[in-house]
Structure 1
């Protein structure tokens, strides 16, 4: 599977001096998941390109950060912990903002932001 952005691009092209959200050692994993999301939304058109456009690389990095963030706020049960009380060991779980449906909607928005003007998402004839 082709990964659309590497660690070097993440640091030099996407972050531009900002602090990384994704640890260096796990970036390839998150970039691979992000590439899968892009691949689905672009009908695998990027895979046939010799050089990955910068817009695709930027999109890959932003989606990777989104996926990493969603995973990082989950607890051991896979649920998103909204608040936690130490007294009686209570926890409140958030189910709406980071539901799978909402995450997919966010990924769609990110993809449109970066790739709307590239013809990669065109599904007509």
Structure 2
């Protein structure tokens, strides 16, 4: 799922126009950027075993130099996630959003909008 989701976000032209290729799992390389983290994973099972569908919660931290830029990145992540295609992805839904600040290595303030995205992925 991780590779498929990152590739789908990078292919979303609205996001790529803002962050370039700075969409990574666990990393923030520059600003603006998107840092992805799996916050939850719970595969579906039947009496015959796993059925291949796994719901994930992915946290997408959208960083910007100011509040507006962080929000712009988040809106493009939201649009890209909404465009995920079958059969690999069975759906994606924003289930949470919050805003806060972080600092970079030089103690410069970075603005962050975090999205919690429920993704249904078929392996």
| TM-score normalised to structure 1 length | 0.30
More strand by share: 2
The structure with the largest alpha-carbon Rg is 1
